[in-house]
Structure 1
Amino acid sequence: MDLITLRSQNITNVLFYARTPKDAALKSSQIAIFNTVVVNTGQGYASDTGKFTAPDSGIYMFAVQYCTEANQWGCLEIVKNGTTLQNSVNQADSNYACSSMQAFATVAVGGQVWVRGNGFGGNCNLYEYKTYVWSSFSGVLIHT
């Protein structure tokens, strides 16, 4: 057996991608729940709570893209077990604007990661439009 085959036998696939926020306006500390689950290998993302629960320990990469309508604030954070991993704030001017953020974290089995409003500027406003402006949350296990 080659090295790639040996390594692939020990690595569990964990990947999720969800979009379409349930609520367009999030209050401070309100969890963003993304309703449309496109992929959920490992079944770690729960669309009813918006939380990812790690089915395996390892190093994960999480990403968020969020869009805001004209003259609105976008303000989100990626959170692991209650501790902020990454913060982001944007304000759309005369048109919509999209921003993204990423975070890498070691997560134990059962550890949770989610996205929530960070309270900057009041409500955090999320926006989607048809097939080309989406807000999303995703994650992947990159090393066990």
Structure 2
Amino acid sequence: MLRVVLSFLFIYVAFSEPECSRFHYEEQTLNKMIRVEIAMEKLQLDMAATQQQVLDALRGLREETQQIKDDWNNEKESLKRDVKDMKGAIANDILEFTNELEKLKGPAVAFRSKDVADLTPNSGDTLVFQTTMLNEGLGYDNTTGIFTAPVGGTYIFTVQFCVVGGKNMYYVIVADNEEIKKGWFCDAKWTACYSADAVVVLKQGARVQVKCSSSSSLLSSNSNYWNTFSGVFVHA
């Protein structure tokens, strides 16, 4: 291509110059050729410089693009690690929270009993409810009428007494020799059932029982109404 351009430039210069003499023509021709050659060399140098600039720009663009890719890949890996760590932390928090709830909830402890052995108890007697209908945690002993706390925590105890009409029932709920509930039930004419409950915080191994607090007590029981003693563990 350079030769073609050079030839055209040469022909153009040759025909555009006025002819004076043979030597003058040759001198002018030679001068034009040199100028054309210098112009071509400059053009080549400019093209080479421009090409180099384009190559440098492309190389820089490639490097910048690669750097962006590398940064993005690193960011993705960092994000994956952060998400993994966050999932692990959340899982640990959930496990710890669940364990704490289990500790607060504690084991299942509950009992329910009926059928007082002696319907005419004396003052100070422990009322023994002989029939055990529920005994989760095995805390209640139906031979002694005493509940022994298998774990420490808050408990609710409930009693129901069915009193003969015109008679009385004096009772007291005792936890480790401490009276936590005390009362009196009666009805002037009819046999009637009454209930009471008590909330108490017990240590493991504490003993709870229901006692009669007066010898004038008289209870009644049949298939339609029961004398009962029950309790449930609420939380640690």
Structure 1: 5+ residue stretches without partners: none
Residue 232 of structure 2 corresponds to 140
Question: What is the match of residue 124 of structure 1?
Answer: 217
Match of 1:52?
Answer: 147
TM-score (norm 2): 0.56
Amino acid at match of 1:123: S
**Consecutive unaligned residues in structure 2, runs of 5 or more:** 1-93
Correspondence for 2:203: 108
* Rg larger for: 2
- Specify the alignment match of 2:135 in structure 1: 40
Q: Does 1:69 align with 2:159?
A: no
CA distance in 1, matches of 2:213, 2:97: 41
Q: 2-side partners of 1:4 and 1:74: how far apart? A: 47
Aligned to 2:114: 19
Q: Secondary structure at the match of 2:124?
A: coil
Structure scoring higher RCO (CA < 8 A, sep ≥ 6) equals 1
- Does the aligned pair in 2 maintain the 1:64–1:136 contact within 8 Å? yes
| Percent of matched pairs sharing the same residue | 28
Higher relative helix content:
2
How far residue 124 of structure 1 moved from its aligned partner, in angstroms, is 1.9
CA drift of 1:92 comes to 2.2
Q: 1:84 to 1:5 in 2, by over 3 A?
A: same
**Structure 1 range deviating more: 68-77 or 14-23:** 68-77
Moved over 4 A (4+): 1-5
TM-score normalised by length of structure 1: 0.90
Letter in 1 for 2:112: Y
The separation in 2 between residues aligned to 1:4 and 1:101, in whole angstroms, is 36
Aligned counterparts of 1:99 and 1:77: Cα–Cα separation in 2: 14
Range moving further from structure 2, 92-101 or 45-54: 92-101
User: Match for 1:135: what amino acid?
Assistant: N
Could you say which structure has the higher strand fraction?
1
| The one of 186, 190, 194 aligned to 1:91 | 186
CA distance in 1, matches of 2:106, 2:218: 37
Distance 1:41 1:31 in 2: 22
Letter in 2 for 1:71: G
Answer yes or no: is the 8 Å Cα contact 1:117–1:123 preserved in 2: no
CA distance in 2, matches of 1:71, 1:88: 17
- The one-letter amino acid of 1:138's match is S
